[in-house]
Structure 1
Amino acid sequence: MSPRVGWPTAGREGTGTMQLDNVAAYGGADSGMVVFLCTASGRVLSASPRAEELFPADGEQTLRERLESRLRLNTTPSLGSALIDGEETSLAGLMDNREITLGVTPLNDHQRMVVMIESLCPPTSLDSLTGLPDRSAMLERIREIQSDGEGGHRLMLIDIDRLKTVNDYLGYHVGDRVIRDLAVAMQAAVPDDVMASRWSGHEFMLLIPPRQAEHSSQIAERIRSAAASVRFNAGEKATQLGTVTVSIGHGALGPGETSRTQPRDQLSSLNAAVYEAKRTGRDRVVNADRLQQPSVYTTGGALDRAIHEGRIVAASQPIVDLKTGEVVADEALARMITPEGDVIPAGLFIEAASRLQMAHRIDFEIINQTITNCVASIDHRPMAHFVNISGDFLQHPELMEQVISNARAACECIGGSGQVEVKPLVLEMTEREVLEDTADAFSALKPLIDFGLRLALDDFGSGYSSYRYLLDMPFTFLKIEGALVQNMSESVRAQKIVQHIQAMAKDMGLITVAEFIGDARTADMLREMGIDWGQGFHFGRPEIIRPLTNHNRAMVHDI
């Protein structure tokens, strides 16, 4: 497109003000066109109202300096060269992820008129329902800001409350209309230099430039008010749902001192803020930078990186024979190592892993490390190695197949046949983690059981359905609820319950393991009751399993 189309050509020898008046007369400045009049050196003489709004002057800035805060040119020649050359030319670039064209027209030897023509994002990056840039367009702009180290921007995530209810109750055509009307209302409510995008089915994302950052809370409140003006318009049923509301989270974007979170954590922080807004009643605004505790999303993001970077490790805690005092087993407990080297116990991340359906990935990591540890300890006395598995892990048969393959390879490394025989690996699960249908749980576990792995029921005595699992599942070990063990020294009732569990387990041929043994007195009481094995700080704290020797690492390099 030629930059001269629709541009005024009369009056080239007049003053700068006359030139902008000519543009206004042609419907340019008054209709919102971005027009600058400047010298060949780039000094701005005057600008249209729209240009002043989008690119306000900050002292004696050149045209290039005024534009570069929001506009990025990607063509040659540069703007400076185009102004000096005095030839009509057009320069392509991006502004807030929208394509723009700068048309440079010489008015005389000393003056240039620069007109910016905006276009929306390419059709492939536009949301078809709202006409807004889509998620890919916003992500591209976010990556640009983070890679360039630009600071001061903020992100705002807007989630439409109860949109699923609207779709189910009134129909998807009403939900679509709500999304479309909210997009229009939202755009009218926010400053022009804020980039709005359709982030997901029920979410919008806004990119707020540095000069608007301090007004983020006010922008959010304007959006919340705009949402209240959107109507369902679906007959009498709509009145029962009330008005449209949104939950909003906003936070800093970009590395450096302008953000207290790392770039890769910032989207998780926004999700956390929206989650907090919904948890506390919906229809409200939460500043992600002020959240006191890390949310499941923030923890989940850190956990995901730790898994990819090999920072989920096993910590081994000894299990002893209460009669002999010998170490007969250990339990591999998951730990997360931070980039700074701090050790995070599972209790601080396992809830996030469960809620975000990441537990199976942790299980898989720890099981494989335990298999490797089995090979590394072949020169020592044979031991049972307990590992925890989640219900999430049972939903991934492909991982169980990989575990069997890795275990079979480990058997071959140490000269074993890999055929059916009792293996040292023990899969430990709690009743709350096993699938609701024990038949489904047994079916999922059968390949592992057939391979020779044994099962342990953890936290026995903490729930009402443990007996059903004992009836339906082939457990070898019964681990007694730690709270019962901890209360034994002070509670006769706790003692009687533990004694009852031991009697039942003995009749069923199960090996009992008491957890959370913290002192010698408790260990002695358990021994007198006939409890088989014990575990707890009295016998040893969990320790990170040390790296393998080169010899053992070579033996398991294929695992």
Structure 2
Amino acid sequence: MVDDSEDDAYLLRAELARRGLPMYCRRVDSALDMAAALASDDWDIVLSDHDMPGFDALAALEVLKRSGRDVPFIIHSGRISDRQAVSAMYDGVDDFIAKGDYERLVPVIGRELRGALARRAVRQADSRIEQLAFFDGLSALPNHQSFCARVEAAIAHARERGRTPAGVVMVVDLDRFLRINASFGYDTGNALLRQVGERLRAGLAVEVMLARLGGDKFGVFLPAVVERGEAELVARWIVHSFERPFLKQHIELFLTASVGIAMLPGDGRAVHELLMNAETATGQVKRSGGNGLRFFERTMNAASAERLALEADLRHAVERSELFLEYQPVVAAAGADIRGVEALVRWRHPHLGRLSPDRFIPLADESGLIGEVGAWVLGEAARQGRLWADQGLDLRVSVNVSAVQFSQPRLLETVSRALHDSGLAPAQLVLEITESSLMNDVESAVGMLRALKNMGVRVAVDDFGTGYSSLSYLKRLPIDIIKIDKSFVRDLGGDSRDVAIVRAIIALAGSLGMSTVAEGVESAAQADVLRAAGCDFFQGFHFSRPCAAEALVL
């Protein structure tokens, strides 16, 4: 109530309450008091006298307008002419009621309150629509559309002022995030994505735009940045920010991120080009193991085009029978008779010729084709193993399992189907899994290995010694075989440290009831050192190169 008379305000309050409008009200009679009242509470309506000493209804209306509040304003006065009342309504007054006319005042108040409520509902709906259109529902960060609009607006603003657009676009892609969803469920994955968003937002400057682009990818825009060094500082902070664990129900979970960087205007003049190039750089980081950063370079596009073409061809490689297996013998240290073989996939590309797995297995992992390729390799190796068994040969067939393949629950189904379709005894199949794959998520690895062991298959740790094994974890993993990496075997004749490492690995395996296979044995001298150290099996060019099944001398 804007009124200079406490008695008039009391009478108005009493009359409205008597007519069924109980209320909380506050009387003010100056611009300063009215501004303070509007700032302190959310008021439903303003009833104002018109003619007061030093303050009138039009001045009160201006105070309301400056506050930015959408509150109905009704003049309730006996000292205002019809001309003044009409003029006031043109200025924004919602109605004019003569003082004392309560029979008309009550329905007008009801009408204005309903109108204000309807406007508020419209504003809330508009706000919700904007939230859905421009903000990510999971993280509450701006979404892909909002990010693109902000970058394009910055580019357009610079051009309108005759300046060269400047800024940096980064794509932050979480490494191997699918294993979180696969191991702990989507609720945990979503909780971690929210935590990632909160951590990045808290650490980035206010003027930096952070958005969730979709899935496990985030976008960062540094406006007006022109120096690579400044961009690199921010990118390195982002990478290092993941060193602290994330918590879910008091469990510590560790993530890493790959950051790709594209700079205006050299790496693109439109937001979609910048994003595409930043993602290309991110892909380079991921192919190098992740947990790092790369600036975009033009040469990456040529490599990306080649990879896209190779991926398209790989999608048809199985159905066109372009994949084939070669087998490298695993021989016993005592007697050098063949006890098993390792199946190695090759690709006979129609245009590029014979391709080694280094050329296409990482691509299969990245593109999601590893499931199909891996299933074919398992099935074909098991089929060949059964053929040898039918010939009376007691050979174990080893098959490599990639990190991506190992993280997928359907691996169990793939192994089971290969054994069932081929008829190979489970004990004759050895799955080789790299040390780093096991240590990425030990808890999940333990569960997967136990499930495989329950099926009867054997498990080997490949490239042992090159990762970051913990003895406390190693003793928990149900492993049958440790394969000593060839990097330790290569210099066995001359490097005493390698000899010491190999002896330690063999002793460790023996104490845990595991057998050992030395990879990359290329000379009799290496074999002698390994035999003296107690290694159980050898594999390498000294005994045989990989060859077709029919070319093996068994």
State the TM-score, normalized to the length of structure 1: 0.48
Instruction: Name the larger-Rg structure.
Output: 2
Which has the larger helix fraction? 2
State the TM-score, normalized to the length of structure 2: 0.48
